[in-house]
Amino acid sequence: MKKTRIFLPREVVKRLRKSYPAPATALKWQSPWELLVATILSAQCTDVQVNKITPGLFSRWPDPKSLSMADPQEVQEVIRPAGFFRTKSRNIIQAGEIINRRFQGRVPADMEDLMSLPGVASKTANIVLYGAYGINAGVAVDTHVKRTARRLGLTRSQDPGKIEKDLMSQFEQDDWGDLNHMLVLLGRETCRARKPLCGECPLFEICPKFISI
DNA sequence: ATCCCGAGGG
DNA sequence: CCCTCTGGAT
């Protein structure tokens, strides 16, 4: 006989908050601009790897204006270890230009404005809005959120946009920003892509994978 | 659907 | 060797 459905998004948040009392990004940043650049660089790359290159990057080109005037090849060499270095170099330089010219040198606190920047789509915009300005505009969906949300039965979709909608409809808006950070931590440490450590998962009892077997 | 791309783990 | 890493643009 099938067990009754215990699973509730509320219970997920409760357990995640207990396990991760201070959810935050592992990226190192000192300003909205640094968070934006670090997040663009973190595409398909570990935060550890990004944190190795950003100190040198920010020390050589501290703000949008200076980066907008940088030699693309010099930037490429600095960020090379993060991968996709040609695309990322172009994106952060152009983002610096646009922010310097159109947004008076300040990173916009607006979803549409952020997504007008090269290399910035929903995920990066959500990270910057919440991290830099405390705005819960949506749920940033990356590889970790996608995997953990699917395993938990919070969505059945593969499409990041639909996954975000599914999460936004089930969780309180006040939890959206932290939800991303907590699911990333869960996905990185426990609900890993390869060998998930289900035995030590704080959501073990409410994970559909182990209910109704 | 495909491309961009290096680093680390297994 | 293969898989994965807080994706985005074409």
Q: Confirm whether A1 is domain-assigned.
A: no
Identify the CATH number of the domain in which residue A160 sits: 1.10.1670.10
Q: What is the mean pLDDT of residues A144-163?
A: 97
Same domain, A68 and A116: yes
Q: Cβ(A75)–Cβ(A93) under 8 Å? A: yes
Same domain, A114 and A37: yes
User: Is residue A2 pLDDT above 50, yes or no?
Assistant: no
Catalytic residues of A: 123, 142
Q: Which nucleotide's C1' atom has the smallest distance to the CA of A42?
A: C6
Domain assignment of residue A188, given as a range: 9-23+139-210
Which A residues between 57 and 76 have a beta carbon under 7 A from any strand C atom?
none
User: Is residue A54 pLDDT above 60, yes or no?
Assistant: yes
- pLDDT category at A7 given cuts 50, 70, 90 is low
Q: Confirm whether A182 is domain-assigned.
A: yes
φ, ψ at A74 (rounded to 5°): -65, -40
User: How many domains does chain A divide into?
Assistant: 2
Same domain, A111 and A149: no
Q: What is the mean pLDDT of residues A82-97?
A: 98
| Strand C proximal to A28 Cβ, under 7 A | no
Residue A45 marked as a ligand binder: no
Q: Which of A209, A194, A199, A212 is nearest to A150 (CA)?
A: A209
Same domain, A117 and A185: no
Q: Confirm whether A4 is domain-assigned.
A: no
Same domain, A124 and A50: yes
The string of DSSP codes covering chain A is: -PPP----HHHHHHHHHHH-SS---SS--SSHHHHHHHHHHTTTS-HHHHHHHHHHHHHHS-SHHHHHTS-HHHHHHHHGGGS-HHHHHHHHHHHHHHHHHHSTTS----HHHHHTSTT--HHHHHHHHHHHH---------HHHHHHHHHTTS-----HHHHHHHHHHHS-GGGHHHHHHHHHHHHHHTS-SSS--GGG-TTGGG-GGGS--
Q: What is the mean pLDDT of residues A193-199?
A: 96
| Strand C proximal to A38 Cβ, under 7 A | no
Domain boundary residue, one of A113, A133, A153: A133
> Which pair of tokens denotes residue A132?
């830099």
Same domain, A42 and A128: yes
Same domain, A129 and A149: no
User: Is residue A211 pLDDT above 60, yes or no?
Assistant: no
Q: Confirm whether A111 is domain-assigned.
A: yes
What is the spatial distance between Cα A191 and Cα A146, in angstroms, rounded to a whole number? 11
Same domain, A36 and A127: yes
Same domain, A119 and A187: no
pLDDT in tens, A115-136: 999 999 999 999 999 999 999 9
Domain boundary residue, one of A133, A154, A175: A133
User: Strand B positions with any atom < 7 Å from protein CB?
Assistant: 4-8, 10
Other Cβ atoms less than 10 A from the Cβ of A131: the count is 22
What pLDDT shows up at residue A6? 56
Same domain, A157 and A66: no
Same domain, A189 and A147: yes
* pTM metric for this prediction: 0.95
Domain boundary residue, one of A133, A159, A183: A133
Identify the CATH number of the domain in which residue A81 sits: 1.10.340.30
